[in-house]
Structure 1
Amino acid sequence: MPNAPVTACIALGSNLGDRRAHILAAQDAIASLPGTRLVASSTLHETPPVGPPGQDDYLNACLRIETSLQPRDLLEALLSIERDRGRVRDPQKRWGPRTLDCDLILYGGLTIDEPGLTLPHPRLHQRLFVLQPLAEVASDLQVPGMDASVGLLLQRLLRQRNAEPTPGGDSGASVAP
């Protein structure tokens, strides 16, 4: 018997090569996964990199999907999509440049803390480059373990930073999808 579909959210980012093409290809590949339906996709946000200096800016986006894939199976599919777009994971360069990053941010109301899979994403509430596009597609979703919706987490982070929301993330630049 197939699993009932679950709402999941995925953050996408790229700062190498044709960033827009990498993100749009990932969106298409995710929408084509078995038992998966794309519900909404955010606009593309151009943001400065987190991590070592000298990297190019990122394009970031978030997707809201419904899927019957289990969390670990979805994660493995995302890692495969990254590899298909030329992503090489280097454990020595945690925040290095990448052709594509596909992070599973939320999966229904589940909290998971296993090697290689933590849900919700442990730094979700600290990352404007994730929360701004995520709020476009899932503002109403409750984040398990944080007693807040995505929209409220974004408001809290903006208050902490004493900033106003901008259409394009940290840098203020928004890019048409």
Structure 2
Amino acid sequence: MNPLLNTVTLGIGGNIGDCCNRFEALYRHLNRNKNIMILDSSPIYINPPFGFIDQNDFYNATITLSTSLSIVQFFGFVFYLERRFGRSKKREFKNSPRTLDIDIIFFNNLILKRPYLTIPHPKWNERESVLIPLFLQYLIPRARK
């Protein structure tokens, strides 16, 4: 039996500072965590902001992993990771610039709707920032590590 029984797909994004290095540091941090096994990730996709458009382009990617953490534990872990990598606890306004945004796109086949968390992530299937990295991750054959 696989002790890392939950499969999670994350969307990551940011547009402040060196996002590529921050994404690599996040990947390394996840890779060192005994409760997580990275299964795959997308290339980084650069796209224009939406909502508040007077800001830098966003860097986005997706990561699929398995974890032994429950959804509640994993949600807390994501919150911790965002703070660890420089995101403030409260955003200035909706769609504001940020160092790192981590969204839980899927957690197994869970469907959850709470005031603080909705799984699958709302409107994931309408956002290029998620769809294109997912497409690149799963549908385009590429060299594996």
What is the TM-score normalised by the length of structure 1? 0.72
Deviation at 1:33, TM superposition (A): 3.0
Q: How does 1:125-144 map to 2 (within 5 A)?
A: 125-138=125-138
CA contact (8 A) 2:10 2:106 kept: yes
Is 1:83 equivalent to 2:83 in the alignment?
A: yes
The corresponding residue for 2:143 is none
Deviation at 1:31, TM superposition (A): 2.6
3-state SS, counterpart of residue 95 of structure 1: coil
The corresponding residue for 2:142 is none
Deviation at 1:34, TM superposition (A): 3.4
The corresponding residue for 2:57 is 57
Of structures 1 and 2, the one scoring higher in RCO (CA 8 A, sep 6+) is 2
Deviation at 1:94, TM superposition (A): 1.8
Deviation at 1:84, TM superposition (A): 1.0
Note the alpha carbon deviations across 1:122-159, whole angstroms, 9 max, x for none: 111110110111233345xxxxxxxxxxxxxxxxxxxx
Q: How does 1:12-91 map to 2 (within 5 A)?
A: 12-91=12-91
Structure 2: gaps of 5 or more residues: 140-145
3-state SS, counterpart of residue 87 of structure 2: coil
3-state SS, counterpart of residue 12 of structure 2: strand
The corresponding residue for 1:119 is 119
Structure 1: gaps of 5 or more residues: 140-177
Q: 1:4 to 1:39 in 2, by over 3 A?
A: closer
Name the CA distance, whole Å, in 1 between partners of 2:120 and 2:87.
23
Q: 1:103 to 1:66 in 2, by over 3 A?
A: same
Name the CA distance, whole Å, in 1 between partners of 2:18 and 2:26.
12
Is 1:95 equivalent to 2:95 in the alignment?
A: yes
Name the CA distance, whole Å, in 2 between partners of 1:64 and 1:127.
18
With 127-136 and 28-37 compared, the bigger mean Cα shift is at: 28-37
3-state SS, counterpart of residue 88 of structure 1: coil
Note the alpha carbon deviations across 1:148-173, whole angstroms, 9 max, x for none: xxxxxxxxxxxxxxxxxxxxxxxxxx
Deviation at 1:70, TM superposition (A): 0.7
Deviation at 1:25, TM superposition (A): 1.4
Deviation at 1:29, TM superposition (A): 2.0
With 25-34 and 115-124 compared, the bigger mean Cα shift is at: 25-34
Q: Which amino acid aligns with 2:17?
A: G
